[in-house]
């Protein structure tokens, strides 16, 4: 099977479903606040099913659900002794689904609360945690490794370094979480951080999480100006705006209250919003595209359809014409259904 680099070199766009944490929480299988992917140990079949749903919706990649499953976080939750099992199980599930649907499988590293700019000891601790996760991913046959949601350039760089040092040549995709300002928490302008990570050997660089499509797009244009290679764009499907630039800062339009993390439904992007994002990304020449927290198979399908992936789930794309009230067949039921449609729409 063609790897990530070959696909990108051939000018293809790779569609990537992220956002497992949010979707599994919505299904009642995971806790906001704790954020640990304990579901991998406690209900692995749910993780496997969600991978399958994203595969059918057109994701080209199955990302192992190891988000926040690094040693320090597991220790914080009193489950350090299970860190290796959780990672290996998650990777095995992802590999199984990837093989079943002929997809790429990616290992995953994520941001930690440990990074400090002038603290070599803290940086070494992060390096050691990422090292073991990279080694487990390589053992499981990962096609490439994602390092995601980094607030600082420094921590993103450590992730890239461990993939280079222990990844046995697998490509690295490094994405930064752009919050309010267009710079990292260690004060590097994000386009500059992406450029440096690209120069340092990442196969794909870009941004994921935190911002919704409308606020992410202008920054993507700036990144595109300075980077030569493929750019990643994986926003959260929420209606962020210039005043509320991240999903952490969004407010309920009805109550004015902050909605992160568990009341975000009232500001969720529609499928039309996501299709527009995918079209904009296509026009900009984004080659690594997807959605992060808040994603669902129905939204991934919108992205995949725009990029002509022809996903099996398109079989179930909406066909309003089949509705017996609003569709073509309504006529065959005479005036009764026409009246029903009027009543329903309030016309
Ligand atoms: Zn996210």
| Residues 36, 30: Cα–Cα separation, whole Å | 8
Q: What are the angstrom distances between the C-alpha of 44 and each of 93, 147, 245? A: 8, 23, 34
- Ligand 1 centroid–CA 326 distance in Å is 37
Q: What are the angstrom distances between the C-alpha of 284 and each of 113, 221, 226, 231? A: 33, 7, 14, 10
- Ligand 1 centroid–CA 68 distance in Å is 11
Q: What are the angstrom distances between the C-alpha of 309 and each of 13, 16, 53, 271, 303? A: 9, 12, 15, 17, 9
Measured at the CA of 95, the angle between CA 89 and CA 99, to 5 degrees, comes to 150
- Ligand 1 centroid–CA 18 distance in Å is 7
Per the CB < 8 A criterion, the answer to whether 29 and 225 are in contact is no
- Ligand 1 centroid–CA 294 distance in Å is 8
Which tens digits make up the pLDDT trace of 178-220? 999 999 999 999 999 999 999 999 999 999 999 999 999 999 9
Q: Mean pLDDT over all residues of the chain?
A: 97
- Tell me the pLDDT band of 334, cut-offs 50, 70 and 90: confident
- Ligand 1 centroid–CA 150 distance in Å is 11
CATH class of the structural domain 4-315:
alpha beta
Quote the pLDDT of residue 107.
Answer: 98
E strand map for the chain: 14-17, 61-63, 104-110, 144-150, 172-176, 204-208, 231-234, 288-291
- Ligand 1 centroid–CA 20 distance in Å is 9
Which tens digits make up the pLDDT trace of 242-263? 999 999 999 999 999 999 999 9
- Ligand 1 centroid–CA 235 distance in Å is 8
- Tell me the pLDDT band of 29, cut-offs 50, 70 and 90: very high
- Tell me the pLDDT band of 315, cut-offs 50, 70 and 90: very high
Task: Give yes or no for residue 54 having a pLDDT over 90.
Answer: yes
- Tell me the pLDDT band of 333, cut-offs 50, 70 and 90: confident
Task: Give yes or no for residue 280 having a pLDDT over 90.
Answer: yes
Which tens digits make up the pLDDT trace of 101-122? 999 999 999 999 999 999 999 9
- Ligand 1 centroid–CA 250 distance in Å is 15
What residue spans in the chain does CATH classification 3.20.20.330 cover?
4-315
Task: Give yes or no for residue 97 having a pLDDT over 90.
Answer: yes
- Ligand 1 centroid–CA 291 distance in Å is 8
Token pair recorded at residue 208: 């994921």
- Ligand 1 centroid–CA 166 distance in Å is 25
- Ligand 1 centroid–CA 23 distance in Å is 11
- Ligand 1 centroid–CA 196 distance in Å is 23
Quote the pLDDT of residue 48.
Answer: 98
| Residues 235, 247: Cα–Cα separation, whole Å | 10
- Ligand 1 centroid–CA 292 distance in Å is 4
- Ligand 1 centroid–CA 153 distance in Å is 17
Give which of 147, 163, 145 is closest to 155, Cα–Cα: 147
Report the SS3 class of residue 204.
strand
- Ligand 1 centroid–CA 236 distance in Å is 6
Quote the pLDDT of residue 162.
Answer: 98
Give which of 19, 81, 11 is closest to 230, Cα–Cα: 11
Quote the pLDDT of residue 320.
Answer: 87
- Ligand 1 centroid–CA 142 distance in Å is 21
Q: Can you tell me the mean pLDDT for 325-334?
A: 84
Quote the pLDDT of residue 321.
Answer: 87
Question: Over pLDDT 90: what percentage of the chain?
Answer: 93
- Ligand 1 centroid–CA 121 distance in Å is 28
- Ligand 1 centroid–CA 321 distance in Å is 35
Quote the pLDDT of residue 44.
Answer: 98
Q: Can you tell me the mean pLDDT for 333-337?
A: 86
- Tell me the pLDDT band of 154, cut-offs 50, 70 and 90: very high
- Ligand 1 centroid–CA 319 distance in Å is 30
- Ligand 1 centroid–CA 38 distance in Å is 17
Quote the pLDDT of residue 220.
Answer: 98
- Ligand 1 centroid–CA 299 distance in Å is 14
Q: Can you tell me the mean pLDDT for 111-135?
A: 98
DSSP 210: S
Q: List residues bridging with 183 in a β-sheet.
A: 189
- Ligand 1 centroid–CA 327 distance in Å is 37
Task: Give yes or no for residue 296 having a pLDDT over 90.
Answer: yes
Quote the pLDDT of residue 328.
Answer: 84
- Ligand 1 centroid–CA 225 distance in Å is 24
- Ligand 1 centroid–CA 175 distance in Å is 11
Q: Angle, nearest 10°, between helix axes 44-56 and 297-306? A: 30
Q: Can you tell me the mean pLDDT for 219-245?
A: 98
Give which of 252, 294, 270 is closest to 25, Cα–Cα: 294
Token pair recorded at residue 173: 């995709």
The phi, psi pair for 114, rounded to 5°, reads -90, -20
The pTM score is 0.97
């Amino acid at each position: 099977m063609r790897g990530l680099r070959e696909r990108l070199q051939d000018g293809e766009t790779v569609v990537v479903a992220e956002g497992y944490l949010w979707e599994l929480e919505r299904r009642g299988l995971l806790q906001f606040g704790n954020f640990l992917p304990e579901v991998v140990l406690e209900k692995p079949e749910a993780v496997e099913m969600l991978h399958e749903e994203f595969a059918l919706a057109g994701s080209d990649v199955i990302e192992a659900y190891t988000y926040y499953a690094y040693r320090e976080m597991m220790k914080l939750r009193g489950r350090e002794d299970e860190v290796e099992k959780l990672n290996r199980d998650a990777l095995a599930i992802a590999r199984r689904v990837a093989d079943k649907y002929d997809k790429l499988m990616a290992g995953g590293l994520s941001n930690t609360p440990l990074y400090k700019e002038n603290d070599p000891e803290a940086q070494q601790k992060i390096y050691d945690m990422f090292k073991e996760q990279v080694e487990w991913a390589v053992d499981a046959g990962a096609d490439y490794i994602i390092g995601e949601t980094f607030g600082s350039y420094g921590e993103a760089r450590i992730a890239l370094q461990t993939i280079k040092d222990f990844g046995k040549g697998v490509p690295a995709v490094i994405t930064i979480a752009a919050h309010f300002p267009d710079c990292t928490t260690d004060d590097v302008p994000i386009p500059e951080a992406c450029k440096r990570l690209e120069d340092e050997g990442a196969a794909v660089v870009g941004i994921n999480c935190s911002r919704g499509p409308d606020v992410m797009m202008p920054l993507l244009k700036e990144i595109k100006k300075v980077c030569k290679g493929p750019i990643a764009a994986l926003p959260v499907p929420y209606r962020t705006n210039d005043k509320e630039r991240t999903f952490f800062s969004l407010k309920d339009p009805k109550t004015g209250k902050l909605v992160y993390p568990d009341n975000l439904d009232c500001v969720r992007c529609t499928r039309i919003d996501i299709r527009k994002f995918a079209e904009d990304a296509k026009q900009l020449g984004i080659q690594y595209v997807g959605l992060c927290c808040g994603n669902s198979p129905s939204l991934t399908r919108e992205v995949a359809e725009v990029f002509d992936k022809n996903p099996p789930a398109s079989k179930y794309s909406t066909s309003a014409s089949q509705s017996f009230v609003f569709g073509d067949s309504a006529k065959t039921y005479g005036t009764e259904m026409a009246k029903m449609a009027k009543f329903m729409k309030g016309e």
